Chain A
Amino acid sequence: MNAMEHGNRYQSDLPVEISVCTSGDLLSIFIIDQSGDQPIPVHVEPDLEAKLDGQQSPRGWGLFLIENMVDELHVYRDKKHHTVELIFRIGEENQ
């Protein structure tokens, strides 16, 4: 949904590609949108009090939430695409 909303801005002709790969005890999910022509926003750690005080935008939670729900997060960009890679460790010790 975030790739559709923030990346492709709900342009129905632009696809979001999702790939799932496993290697050893790692599960990687690649979410690729078509917003490579847009710079990756500078990451600002969201702070609720700052948002309530008007010092930060009320928005800007996406990558923060993802970071806190996966084992690793990587963001890539090329001329056409913006890729978010989510990595989960799925070994027995993590189950």
Chain B
Amino acid sequence: MTFANVNIGVRKINEYLSILDIQGEINSYAESALMDAYTQSLGNLTRFILLNFEGLKYMNSSGIGLLVTLLIRVQRQKQKLFAFGLSEHYKQIFELTRLNEAIIIFDNESEAVAAASSN
């Protein structure tokens, strides 16, 4: 039985901006996939990491912890973390944890990309 039921694709939109397309489940077993995807997304000038949650099937409290770990790494690199595609349930989770104050949430990819591009 495998516990890492997630695939995370990396799209480098431009030299400043990359998108991580999350498909599946974010739990503690997603750590390698998420951190490897983040590493792949990096370039010398990367400033924005966008998390695409449109394909998210499930995320538990360990997954929230993983996002905090990712956020710490992103902030250390003086980058910004954006998110889009969150369901109402997970938007509520972001509000409860106050992650929505540290990760800017957009309704869709075009809005997130536009916001990043204007910064």
Which of A's residues lie within 8 Å of B, judged by CB?
1-2, 5, 10, 12, 46, 48, 51-52, 54, 57-62, 64-65, 68-69
Contacts and interface: CB of A to CB of B under 8 A. Distances in A.
Contacts of B61: 2, 59-62, 65
A44 B64 CA distance: 16
Contacts, number: 55
Contacts of A69: 96
Contact of A12 (B1, B28, B58, B65): B1
Contact of B97 (A1, A54, A57, A65): A65
* Size class of the contact patch on chain B: 20 to 34
Give chain A's interface secondary structure class. Answer: loop
Contacts of B66: 58
A61 B65 contact: yes
Given A46-B97, A48-B101, A68-B96, A61 B64 contact: yes
